[in-house]
Structure 1
Amino acid sequence: MSSPTRPGGSGAAVSPQSGLERKIGPLQATAINMTQMCGIGPFVTIPAMVATMGGPQAMFGWIIGAIIALADGLIWAELGAAMPGAGGTYVYLREAFQYRTGRLMPFLFAWSAVLFIPLIMSTGIIGLVQYLGYLFPAMTDDSGTTGLGKIVGIGVILLIVLALFRKIGQIGKLTTVLFAIMLFAVLSVIVAAFSHFSAAQAFAFTPGAFDLFGGGAFWTGLGAGLIIAIYDYLGYNTSAYLGGEVKNPGRTLPRSIIFSILGIMSLYFLLQVGVLGSIPLEQLEKATSVASSVLEQAWGTGVAKTITVFIVIAAIGSVFAGLLGGSRVPFEAARDKVFLPVFAKLHPKLNLPTAGVLAMGLITAIGSLFTLTTVINAAVTVLVLIQSVAQIAALVVLRQRRPDLRRPYRQWLYPIPTVIAGIGWVYIYVSASWLSIGLSVGWIVLGVIAFGIYAKAEQTWPFGPKTIHEAFAEGDGSTRIEGAQA
């Protein structure tokens, strides 16, 4: 496989992506990440975060979550710049673990990604319907989303899937517009909150909250709070999933990841502090559309309803960006013949992976029928095991196995960010509910069984030889066949 270096650009070795076009520039890549990160998440999870962490000290949960996200983002930045291919993590695990376990790790990631990516997107739909309930009360009731709300949510998913059927250049422009709408919605809520802000209320930390040895509220709720916080930060890696369609990826991918995390971190902190200082704690913990309440309190019902429309559009943009990036994972896996062949086919005119878009849209629709916290826990636990922790190992393995791999960006202060990310992800995983942990392990076990069936049929490792192909090298990537040994 020829792996040409892009002239006059990043110096990254670029693997050919059959049919995909490199049309996404730096602004569009950052906009895609930030749009996916800041959809409906912070607007629906602030009350849960405050309740989980026992008061205004929840604001520090966002900061710790941002530190973990930034450390993890530096892992994505190095891997994405060195191996800018469609599917993101799929490519990194394939390149790192092929030496010992053949195709097992990329198979497990593709197997899991078609579940956790659309599940995360379904939370955007659930939150979106909550805010539609502010505009149309029939959408929600005291028990949650009504039957009408669920139907409307599925209808929104259908519209998003239809919107994805266009060329990547058009999608990049559309995402930039959605990013502008998201930014307007978030900044409007922040300004509204600080227009009647009470510092005394915002920083009225629960007595003993930070008592490390006395079981302070901050520490007892930190694990569950970080699950919420990291969920809200997810999406900074979306441009890496689109690595095969990014221009000058060696520079664009690291910058889009790092800038998006820093930008969203600032917005989230301001939003959290502003809301804490504008709505009494007892009212905040019960709110279902907290942003609309802040806006109504500051500027009246008319303005609140108008800006709520923009919040709903921002949520749609988040799901749009997430499904856009996620659909490339089964596409790349199918091109490697480790996933169903139908996923390797591109639309004849639009050059998009049709089956990936449709399948993830369907799973998003199913996930939208459940409750928000249930879906968040299930999605995050699966993600931690097969993406976050595995990718940390991939970075270490590739530094040892492929020291000659072109790395336009190398992780700052390595290995400190890698260690921080590893500790953070393990802590988040063990803080999840036992049901979520059990389901995540069960899903991986099923994946291993499915891989065994596939490997037996294909006579590949562990039932046959391993094909070692070192892509993304300068010149031709080397390929060799090794015997069936671990």
Structure 2
Amino acid sequence: MSAAPPPSGGFVRRVGLFQATAINMSQMCGIGPFVTIPLMVAAFGGPQAVIGFVAGALLALADGLIWAELGAAMPGSGGTYVYLRKAFQYRSGRLMPFLFVWTAMLFIPLIMSTGVVGFVQYLGYLAPGLGQGAGDAIGVGVIALVVLLLWRGIEHIAKITAVMWVVMIASVVLVIFAAFTHFDTGPAFDYPDGAFSFTGTAFWTGFAAGLTIGIYDYLGYNTTAYMGAEIKNPGRTLPRSIVFSILGIMAIYLLLQVGTLGVVDWHRMLDPKDIASTSVASAVLEETWGKTAADVVTVMILVTAFASVFTGLLGGSRVPYDAARDRVFFKPYGRLHPRHGFPVLGLATMGVITVIGFLLGRHTDLATLIQLLTTVMVLVQGLAQIAALVTLRRKRPDMERPYRMWLYPLPGIVALAGWLVIYGYADTNSPGRHPIEWSLGWLALGCAAFALWARREKVWPFGPRESVIDVGDTNTLRRGA
């Protein structure tokens, strides 16, 4: 499998380890940390907010090892869809992969929409008079430009991504360097009373909110798993790209968080009228190297935000394509562009939903959008994928696994605990928004959509049960009574 030939769906394996890691890191380190540092400080109530980034890193690494084993063993386009299809085909037919694709069509664009919200937020630093309507129009225009650039072949996209990755790394490094050249231990470690009161409910409520923000910042370590059919030597490249990107971003985030707190008084981040609450990286540069430097780095951050949306839609648009090709989702999503070979309808649909999510975030708040998207993805990706790993280990011990999870099953247990904390505290940390109820409602709607689709397609539970038999790099359906 590590030397898997090109798949038979029109994709070609052209993305190597460097480009794969760059794609992951561009998606992970987009606008996220530049807009969530103030949110993390607000969640914890002080500079102890660094705990949230550490906790998010541990959850990302534990979950990343799950992605690494599953992705190396089944390097097809679609990521979680492929894994759920393989693990649960005998018990629930096509229900689980259908529900994942149904859910991914929502949470992947919502993740991208947060990047565009952050883009407009930082643009407001360069144009202080930017109004609500103008900001909305610019955000929608950015999304349209991303979709237009993705309307081409993967070989061109990989080159564009590598360039944007360099800009992303440069912008983060400049902010970190500026912060540590003017670092003050006073504000960085100015902990309020009771900051580490582990016995109180306030700390754990803040911890759950911080963990949610933290894992949001690390999301993207799995982007190349969605592109498994386009990765060179996937048995080795996929696990390495996941682990390398998580470890690299972990170091960057910790330096960025601590450095920022050593320059900007964390109390400023709680004031919605202060630039430190909306454009904290610009505030760091302004405090250290002056306004001109702040403007330059802000432009680089805008490029970084653009790159994260670009790579996210690149990987996410492949999910419904593979599902439709395997007759587990609506047929029109299984068509590729006749010339450039990308999934047309998947990209267009996710572009539209990204616009809707962006406008939702602009007219509520970024924290609410983050809470909604993480809650939606927990059930049918986070928890379901852990179950898929365990199921395949038990029922398919003969499956070829170029990479096997280190310390199994410990990473799975850590990931399970983390996802349950995020889900269990969702309503508490988003009062009045009801993210748990919305996630269950969306899942129920997906079940209803599946029932209608299955009845039309005459498959389980309205037809004979089917299973997937592996034949090289393709799949064959076997019908049973």
The TM-score bracket by the shorter chain reads over 0.9
- Displacement of 1:219 after TM fit? 2.7
Cα distance in 1, alignment partners of residues 457 and 358 from structure 2: 36
Q: What is aligned with 1:143?
A: none
Name the structure 1 match of 2:49. 58
Sort the Cα spacing of 1:451 and 1:477 in 2 relative to 1 into closer, same or farther, 3 A. closer
Q: Deviations over 1:332-367 (max 9, x none)?
A: 111122222221111111010011111111110111
2:163 counterpart residue number: 177
Task: Name the residue aligned to 2:480.
Answer: 482
Partner of 2:385: 391
Counterpart contact for 2:7–2:473, Cα < 8 Å: no
State the partner residue of 1:116. 107
1:320 aligns with 2:318: no
Aligned partner of 2:263 in structure 1 is: 278
3-state DSSP class of the match of 1:370?
helix
Contact 2:109–2:353 at 8 Å: present in 1 too? yes
**Contact 1:406 / 1:474 at 8 angstroms: preserved in 2?**
no
Indicate whether 1:293 and 2:283 are aligned. Answer: yes
Distance (whole Å) between structure 2 residues aligned to residue 271 and residue 306 of structure 1: 18
1:88 aligns with 2:79: yes
Given that 1:129 and 1:139 are in contact with CA atoms closer than 8 Å, whether structure 2 keeps it comes out as no
8 Å Cα contact 2:22-2:162 kept in structure 1: yes
The within-5 A match list for 1:57-456 is 57-140=48-131, 146-215=132-201, 218-286=203-271, 287-371=277-361, 372-433=366-427, 435-456=434-455
3-state SS of paired residue (1:469): strand
Q: Distance in 1 between matches of 2:62 and 2:320?
A: 27
**1:476 & 1:241 partners in 2: Cα distance?**
17
SS of structure 2 residue aligned to 1:139: coil
Superimposed CA distance per residue, residues 204-250 of structure 1 (whole angstroms, 9 cap, x where no aligned partner): 222222222244x5433001111111111100000000001000000
Q: Which moved more, 1:81-90 or 1:452-461?
A: 452-461
- Give the counterpart letter for 1:396 in structure 2: V
What is the Cα deviation at residue 475 of structure 1?
Answer: 8.4
Q: What residue ranges of structure 1 are gaps of 5+ in the alignment?
A: 141-145
**Number of residue equivalences:** 467
Share of identical aligned residues, percent? 58
Q: Which amino acid aligns with 1:272?
A: Q
Please report how far the alpha carbon of residue 474 of structure 1 lies from its aligned counterpart in structure 2 after TM superposition: 5.4
For residues 435 and 49 of structure 2, the distance between their equivalents in structure 1, rounded to whole angstroms, comes to 23
For the Cα contact (< 8 Å) 1:17–1:86, is it kept in 2?
Answer: no
Counterpart secondary structure, 2:47:
coil
d(CA) in 2 for partners of 1:475 and 1:339? 20
1:167 alignment partner AA? G
Cα deviation digits, residues 423-477 of structure 1 (max 9, x gap): 1111111111261010000000000111111111222111211211133x65886
TM-score normalised by length of structure 2:
0.95
* Secondary structure at the counterpart of residue 339 of structure 1: coil
**1:469 alignment counterpart:** 468
Task: State the secondary structure of the residue aligned to 1:468.
Answer: strand
- Superposition CA RMSD, Å: 1.5
Letter in 1 for 2:164: L
| Distance in 2, Cα, partners of 1:57 & 1:218 | 10
Q: Secondary structure at the match of 2:468?
A: strand
Deviation of residue 60 (structure 1)?
1.2
Runs of 4+ in 1 over 4 A off after TM superposition: 473-479
CA positional deviation for 1:296: 0.9
1:44 aligned residue (31, 35, 38): 35
Distance in 1 (alpha carbons) for counterparts of 2:351 and 2:294: 30
TM-score normalized with structure 1 length: 0.94
User: Which secondary structure does the structure 2 equivalent of 1:266 belong to?
Assistant: helix
Deviates more, 1:428-437 or 1:25-34: 428-437
Q: Work out the CA distance in 2 between the residues paired with 1:214 and 1:152.
A: 44
**Contact 2:6 2:12 survives alignment (8 Å):** no
- CA-CA distance at 1:196 after TM superposition: 1.3
Partner SS state of residue 466, structure 2:
strand
Q: Distance in 2 between matches of 1:191 and 1:34?
A: 19
In 2: Cα distance, 1:149 partner to 1:474 partner: 50
Q: Does the 8 Å CA contact 1:15/1:85 hold for their aligned counterparts?
A: no
> Which stretch shows the higher mean deviation, 273-282 or 368-377?
368-377
Q: Map residues 10-21 of structure 1 onto 2, 5 A cutoff.
A: 10=2, 16-21=7-12
| Deviation sequence 1:95-142 (CA, Å, 0-9, x none) | 1100100000000011111111001100000000000000112325xx
Asked if the contact 2:375/2:435 (under 8 Å) is kept, the reply is yes
Report the Cα distance in structure 2 between the residues aligned to 1:280 and 1:86, rounded to whole angstroms: 45
Give the AA of the match of 1:450. A
* CA gap 1:477/1:460 in 2 versus in 1, 3 angstroms: closer
Do 2:7 and 2:474's aligned partners in 1 also have CA atoms closer than 8 Å? Answer: no
The question of whether the paired residues in 1 share the 8 Å contact of 2:34 and 2:279 is answered with yes
AA aligned to 1:48 is L
Structure 1 residues 37, 181: CA separation in 2 closer, same or farther (over 3 Å shift)?
A: same
Q: Structure 2: where are the runs of 5+ without partners?
A: 272-276, 429-433
8 Å Cα contact 2:216/2:370 also seen in 1: yes
CA contact 1:14–1:83 (8 Å) conserved in 2: no
